[in-house]
Structure 1
Amino acid sequence: MHQQEIQNWISKSEKLFVKKLSRNDCLWADSHEYGHQNGVYIPREIREADFFPKLRNINAAKPHIFETPFATLWPATGEYKASNLKHYSNKGPEMHFTGVPKEHFAGVTPASLMLGGILRESQGDAHHWFMVIDSGCEEAELLESLFDLPADFHFGLFDPQKFISVPQNETDALIEELSHSFNAGTLAAFIAAVSKLPSPQLLAAQAQTAYMQEHGLESLNPFAMSNPGDALMHISRDIEYKLYKRAELRHRAAEVVRIITTSGSNIVQSVVRGFPQLDATFLSASQHRKSRAGRSFEQHIARLLTDGKILFEEQAVTGGRRPDFVLPNLITLNDVNRDFGDALILSAKTTLRERWKQIAMEKFNCAIFLATVDDRVSADAIDDMQRQEICLVVPESLKKAKESCYKDKINVITFKAFFDEKIDVK
Structure 2
Amino acid sequence: MARAIERWELLQEWIDKSSSILIKKLSRNDCSWADDSSKHQNGFYVPAKIRMSGFFPEMFEKPSKPHIYEAEFYTKWPGVDGEVKLSSLKHFSNKGSEAHVTRVPKSEFSKLTPASLLVGGVLRVPEDGVIRYWFVVVDAGSEDAEIVETVFELGVDFECALFDPQQINKVESDESELLIEQIRVAIFTGCLPGFLKSVATLPRPEVLAMQAQEVFMREHGLDRLSPYHVDRPGDAIMKISRDIEFSIYKNYELRHRAADVVRILIEGGDDLVRSVVKGFPALNASFLSASQHRKTRAGRSFEQHISRLLNDGGLFFEEQFITGNRRPDFVLPSGLSLESDSRGNADTIILSAKTTLRERWKQLALEKFDCGLFLATVDDRVSSDAIDEMFDQRIFLVVPESLKTSKDTCYERKSNVLTFREFFDEEILRKRPSFLR
TM-score, structure 1 as length reference: 0.98
Aligned to 2:360: 355
In structure 2, runs of 5+ residues without a counterpart are none
Query: How far off is 1:259 after superposition?
Result: 1.1
In 2: Cα distance, 1:33 partner to 1:164 partner: 43
SS in 2 for 1:32: coil
SS of the counterpart of 1:341?
coil
The answer to whether the 8 A contact 1:145-1:165 is kept is no
Output aligned runs, 1:23-422, within 5 Å: 23-35=28-40, 37-59=41-63, 61-77=64-80, 78-124=82-128, 125-164=130-169, 166-422=171-427
49-58 or 389-398: which moved more?
Answer: 49-58
AA paired with 2:433?
V
> Which amino acid in the other structure matches residue 180 of structure 1?
V
Q: Distance in 1 between matches of 2:33 and 2:12?
A: 29
Question: Secondary structure of 1:392's partner?
Answer: strand
Measure, in 2, the Cα distance between the counterparts of 1:336 and 1:55: 71
Partner SS for 1:53: coil
Q: Is the 8 A contact 1:146 1:163 kept in 2?
A: yes
1:145-177 deviation line (CA, Å, top 9, x unaligned): 111111111111111122236533312211111
Q: Secondary structure at the match of 2:79?
A: coil
Letter in 1 for 2:42: N
* SS class of match (1:167): helix
Structure 2 counterpart SS, 1:82: strand
Give me the whole-angstrom Cα distance separating, in 2, the residues matched to 1:187 and 1:64: 68
CA contact (8 A) 1:147 1:165 kept: no
User: 1:340 Cα deviation (Å)?
Assistant: 4.0
Q: Which amino acid aligns with 1:25?
A: D
Q: What secondary structure sits across from 2:178 in the alignment? A: helix
Kept in 2, the 8 Å contact 1:201–1:299? The answer is yes
Inter-partner Cα distance in structure 2 for 1:195 and 1:111: 36
Q: Distance in 2 between matches of 1:122 and 1:155?
A: 24
The residue matched to 1:64 in structure 2 has which SS?
strand
Q: AA paired with 2:137?
A: V
Whether contact under 8 Å (2:114, 2:380) holds in the other structure is yes
Which deviates further from its counterpart, 116-125 or 224-233? 116-125
Quick one: distance in 2 between partners of 1:262 and 1:86? Answer: 60
Total equivalences in the alignment? 424
AA of the residue aligned to 1:176 = E
Contact kept in structure 1, 2:227 and 2:424, CA below 8 Å:
yes
- Residue 338 of structure 2 contacts residue 345 of structure 2 at CA under 8 Å; is this kept in 1? no
Residue pair 1:375, 1:404 contacting (<8 A) in 2 also:
yes
In structure 1, runs of 5+ residues without a counterpart are: none
Q: Residues of 2 paired with 1:71 and 1:161: CA distance? A: 25
TM-score by length of 2: 0.95
In 1: Cα distance, 2:166 partner to 2:262 partner: 26
